[in-house]
Amino acid sequence: MSEDVYGIIALDNKVIIKHCSMYEAFRNKGLKIKDADLLTAASAKANNLILITSDKELRKLERHGLEIRFINFMEIK
């Protein structure tokens, strides 16, 4: 199972607190981001992880100190 390989990040208080602060920062700047994307980003940020994605829309999260690596999953063999 994939959770055996990758692990599961708990939705704990530090993730929720990070989510709230990121949400407020985006809202105050008038920026919109999907809830699932923001929760994923907050999980990575709260756990000092790198977010790996192919979604270029998430580039705006880099301004909030989140390290992101963009890859093309179609090129992975």
What is the domain partition of the chain in residue ranges? Answer: 2-75
Q: Which of 28, 53, 54, 27 is nearest to 41 (CA)?
A: 53
> What is the predicted pLDDT for the residue at 36?
93
Block mean pLDDT (10 aa), the chain, length 77: 73 96 92 92 94 89 87 77
Q: pTM above the 0.85 mark?
A: no
Give the ranges where the chain is alpha helix by DSSP (H): 2-6, 13-28, 35-46
> What is the predicted pLDDT for the residue at 59?
87
Q: What's 2-75's CATH class?
A: alpha beta
